[in-house]
Amino acid sequence: MNIALIAHDKKKQDIINFSIAYQHILKNHQLFATGTTGKKISEETGLEVFRFQSGPIGGDQQIGAKIANNEMDIVIFLRDPLTAQPHEPDVSALMRLCDVHLIPLATNIAAAEIVIRALANGNFSWRDVLKQQKEEGYSE
């Protein structure tokens, strides 16, 4: 599965800790992240992470493009709801794309743990079916 890992500044340590704790699961998947988040996860875990630009300068939109092209399966976006974000429209657009394209989206550590455990249990095989249907021309 293709997994996007994103975190606002005040949540970066949380996503690093999450990545360390679930490294044994994440290592079996393709990981994508916005700039600094991806760098820190890779440095701390040794996991291979494809890095997009930083969120505020286009990284959120780059991940959004992957979602729109059916090339992303899960998004873990640890958001800081108490700090204003200058790129909030991009964040909202990314979340909307997840809803439109049926991409599981975890925006806090509790939801991220549920998603990662479901992934480990094989509960996302429906994503493979959905991808195949889209490739065959079936539309939602």
Judge whether 81 lies within some domain: no
Catalytic residue (one of 60, 80, 90, 128):
60
pLDDT of residue 138: 65
Judge whether 55 lies within some domain: no
Judge whether 106 lies within some domain: yes
Gap between the Cα atoms of 94 and 110, Å rounded = 20
Judge whether 73 lies within some domain: no
Stated pTM of the model: 0.91
What number is the average pLDDT over the span 99-116? 96
Judge whether 82 lies within some domain: no
Q: For all residues of the chain together, what is the average pLDDT?
A: 92
pLDDT band at 132 (very low <50, low <70, confident <90, very high): confident
pLDDT at 139 over 60: no
pLDDT at 18 over 90: yes
Domain containing 135 equals 96-140
What's the domain count of the chain?
1
pLDDT at 140 over 60: no
pLDDT of residue 135: 76
Residues 6+ apart with CB under 8 A from 9: 80, 83
44-100 pLDDT, tens digit each = 999 999 999 988 888 999 999 999 998 999 999 999 988 877 778 788 999 999 999
**Phi-psi bin for 33: left (phi > 0), alpha (psi -120 to 50), beta?**
beta
pLDDT of residue 10: 95
Clarify whether 14 is annotated catalytic.
no
What number is the average pLDDT over the span 110-121? 96
Judge whether 124 lies within some domain: yes
pLDDT of residue 77: 97
Query: Nearest to residue 31, comparing CAs of 85, 74, 89, 88?
Result: 74
Judge whether 128 lies within some domain: yes
